[in-house]
Structure 1
Amino acid sequence: MSEPHDYDVLIVGAGFAGVHQLLNIRKLGLTVKVLEIGEDLAGTWLWNRYPGAEFFIHRLQFGARVDSPSPFYQFSDPELWQDWTYTEKYPDWREIQAYFRYVNDKFDVKRDVVFHSRVASAHWNDLVDRWTVTTEDGRVFRAQFLSLCTGIGSKHHIPIFKGIDTFQGDVYHSARWPEKYDFKDKRAGIIGTGATAIQIIQEIAPHVAHLTVFQRTPNLALPIRQQSISAEAEEKLKKDLYPVFFRRRGQTFSGFDYDIDPKSVPDTTPEERLLAFEEKWEKGGLHFWVGSYADLFMNQEANDEAYAFWREKVRERIPDPELQEKLAPMQAPHPWGVRRPSLEQRYFEVYSQPNVTLVDVNKAAIEEIVPNGLRTSDGTVHELDILVFATGFDMITGGITSIDIRGQDGLSIKEKWANGVKSYLGLASATYPNMFWIYGPQSPAGLSNGPSSIEMTSEWIINCINYLKQNKFSSIVPIEEAQLAYSEHVDQLGAAALWFKAKNSWYMGSNIEGKKVQMLQFPGGLPAYAKLCNDSATDSYDGFHLKCSI
Structure 2
Amino acid sequence: MADPDSASSRTPLPRVTCPGRFDERSLSLDALIIGAGFAGVYLLHRLRQEGFNAKIVEAGTGLGGIWHWNNYPGARVDSQYPVYQLSIPEVFNTFEWTEHYPGSQELQRYFQHADKVLNLSNDVLYNTRVDAVRWDDTLHKWHVECENGTRITTRYLNCCMGFAAKRHFPAWPGLEDFEGYICHSSFWPAEGVDMKGKRVAVVGQGATGIQIAQESAKDAKELTVFIRTPNTALPMNQRKISEEDAATVNKTIAHRLQTERYGNAGGFLFGNPERKMLEDSPEERERLLGEFYQRGGFAPLFVYADILTDPVSNRFMYDYWAKRTRARISDPVKRDILAPLEPPHAFMGKRPSLEQDYYEQLDKDHVKLVDLRKVSVSHVVPQGIVTSDGELHKLDILAMATGFDSLTGSFTQVKIEGMNGIDLEQKWNTDLGALSYLGISVAQFPNLFYTYGPHAPTAYGNGPSIVEPQAEWIVKVMKQMNKQGKTKINAKESYEREWKKEVNDLHAATLRHNVDSWYMGTNIPGKPRQALNYAGGLSTYIATINERLNSNFEGFEVV
Scaled by the length of structure 2, the TM-score of the pair is 0.94
Name the counterpart of 1:9: 31
Indicate the residue corresponding to 2:450 in structure 1: 437
Structure 1: how far apart are the matches of 2:198 and 2:25?
A: 51
**Aligned AA (1:87):** T
5+ residue gaps, structure 1: 52-62
Partner residue in 1 for 2:505: 492
2:465 paired residue number: 452
In structure 2, what is the Cα distance between the partners aligned to 1:431 and 1:352?
53
Residue 207 of structure 2 corresponds to residue 198 of structure 1? no
Q: Which letter maps to 1:213?
A: V
Deviation at 1:77, TM superposition (A): 1.6
CA distance in structure 2 between the aligned counterparts of 1:163 and 1:270, rounded to whole angstroms: 52
Query: Out of 219, 225, 235, which is 1:207 matched to?
Result: 219
CA distance in 1 between partners of 2:167 and 2:52 (Å): 33
Cα pair 2:276 2:306 within 8 Å, conserved = yes
How far off is 1:534 after superposition? 1.1
Provide the residue aligned with 2:53 in structure 1.
Answer: 31
Q: 1: CA distance between counterparts of 2:340 and 2:245?
A: 40
CA contact (8 A) 1:335 1:498 kept: yes
> 1:176 maps to what in 2?
187
Cα distance in 1 for residues equivalent to 2:244 and 2:513: 46
1:268 corresponds to which of 274, 280, 285 = 280
Report deviation, 1:363. 1.0
Given the alignment of the two structures, is residue 126 of structure 1 paired with residue 137 of structure 2, yes or no?
yes
Question: Does 1:89 pair with 2:100?
Answer: yes
Amino acid at match of 2:333: E
Residue 216 of structure 1 corresponds to: 228
Matched, 1:540 2:552: yes
Q: What is aligned with 2:19?
A: none
Of the candidates 238, 242, 253, which is equivalent to residue 230 of structure 1? 242
Q: SS at the partner of 2:518?
A: coil
Q: CA-to-partner distance for each residue in 1:155-179, whole Å, 9 max, x for gaps?
A: 1111111111111100100111012
- Deviations along 1:375-409, one digit per CA (max 9) or x if unpaired, are 11111101100111110111111111211111113
User: How far apart are the structure 1 equivalents of 2:120 and 2:252?
Assistant: 29
Contact 1:186 1:210 in 2 (8 A): yes
Structure 1 CA distance, aligned partners of 2:206 and 2:25?
Answer: 45
- SS of the residue 1:206 aligns to: helix
- 1:71-82 aligned within 5 A: 71-82=82-93
Structure 2 residue 325 is the aligned partner of structure 1 residue 314: yes
Amino acid at match of 1:300: P
Residues 460-480 of structure 1: CA deviation (Å, up to 9, x unaligned): 111111111111110111111
Contact 2:86/2:257, CA 8 A, preserved across alignment? no
1:183–1:204: 8 Å Cα contact kept in structure 2? yes
Contact 2:519 2:531 in 1 (8 A): yes
Structure 2 residue runs without a partner (length 5+): 1-23
Q: Is this contact kept in 2: 1:145–1:434, CA < 8 A?
A: yes
Deviates more, 1:263-272 or 1:508-517: 263-272
Q: Which amino acid aligns with 1:202?
A: Q
Equivalent positions of 1:49-88 (< 5 A) are 49-51=71-73, 63-88=74-99
Q: Indicate which of 362, 366, 387 corresponds to 1:376.
A: 387
Shift of 1:292: 2.6
SS of the residue 1:530 aligns to: helix
SS at match of 2:219: coil
Q: CA deviation at 1:502?
A: 1.8
C-alpha deviation, 1:85, in angstroms: 1.2
Residue pairs, 1:390-429, within 5 angstroms:
390-419=401-430, 420-429=433-442
Q: In the alignment, is the contact (CA less than 8 A) between 1:85 and 1:231 conserved in 2? A: no
Give per-residue Cα distances to partners, 1:194-230, cap 9 Å, x unaligned.
Answer: 1111111111212111000011100100000000012
What percentage of aligned pairs have identical amino acids?
A: 39
Aligned to 1:136: 147
Contact 2:29 2:155 (8 Å CA) reproduced:
yes
1:13-66 CA distances to partner (integer Å, 9 max, x unpaired)? 000000001011001111111110111110000111112xxxxxxxxxxx1000
1:343 aligns with 2:354: yes
Cα distance, 1:231 vs structure 2: 3.6
Alpha-carbon distance between aligned partners in 2 of 1:195 and 1:112, rounded to the nearest angstrom: 33
Q: Distance in 1 between matches of 2:40 and 2:543?
A: 23
Equivalent residue number for residue 251 of structure 2: 239
2:18: which partner in 1? none
Aligned position for 2:371: 360
1:481 and 2:503 aligned: no
Letter of the 1:458 partner, please give it: A
Mapped to 2, the partners of 1:353 and 1:442 lie a distance apart of: 42
RMSD: 1.2
TM-score (norm 1): 0.95
Identify the residue that residue 189 of structure 1 maps to in structure 2. Answer: 201
The question of whether the paired residues in 1 share the 8 Å contact of 2:214 and 2:362 is answered with no
**In 1, Cα distance between equivalents of 2:135 and 2:348:** 40
Per-residue CA shift, 1:435-468, capped at 9, x if unaligned? 0000111011110100000111111111111111
Letter in 2 for 1:297: L
Mapped to 1, the partners of 2:506 and 2:148 lie a distance apart of: 42
Separation of aligned partners in 2, 1:67 and 1:485: 33
Identify the residue that residue 11 of structure 2 maps to in structure 1.
none
Aligned to 2:312: 301
Q: Do the aligned partners of residues 3 and 118 (structure 1) sit closer, same or farther apart at CA in structure 2, a change above 3 Å counting?
A: closer
Count of aligned residue pairs for this structure pair:
533
Contact 1:405 1:412 in 2 (8 A): yes
